[in-house]
Amino acid sequence: MAWSSGSGCVPWAIGRKAIEKVMRNQPAVFLKLLVLLVPREMKVEHSQRVKEMTDEQLERSLALIEEMMAQREAGANAKVIDGVPEPVPALPPPSRKARAQGAKERPSRQWPCG
């Protein structure tokens, strides 16, 4: 069966640990897999969009860029509130009866795709 996002089967949840293990233990293999994901050829074309813009479009674009820069600067100068987390009491452990009942209702471990 081919893996697809619409099939309801999520291989990423199953294979994530395997991918992380390969990344740690065999970095050369992991990098080769990443390289295989990149297309061999990529066509890049230059366009003259800025030269084709009218004066009004250039002025609006500059105004938007200046506004974005001002927002970024305002965010960098924002006040930070220092706080201390309050301790929250832990919940009591489940009773023996609740643990036994939970073990009976646990579903069997099967692959989601069958």
Q: Is residue 33 part of a domain?
A: yes
Confidence of residue 2 (pLDDT cuts 50, 70, 90): very low
89 within some domain: no
Kindly state the greatest CA–CA separation across the chain. 76
What was the pLDDT predicted at 93?
A: 82
Could you give the CA distance from residue 103 to residue 100 in angstroms, rounded to a whole number? 5
Instruction: Quickly state the pLDDT bin for 64 (edges 50, 70, 90).
Output: very high
Domain that holds residue 29: 9-38
32 located within any domain: yes
Domain assignment present for 18: yes
- Asked if the structure places residue 17 within a domain, the reply is yes
Does the pLDDT value for residue 4 go beyond 80?
no
Structure tokens at 105: 């209702």
- Is residue 30 domain-resident? yes
**pLDDT above 80 (res 24):** yes
Has residue 109 been placed in a domain? no
Tally of domains in the chain: 1
Examine residue 23 and state whether it is found in any structural domain, yes or no.
yes
Separation in Å, CA 51 to CA 13, 39, 42:
48, 31, 25
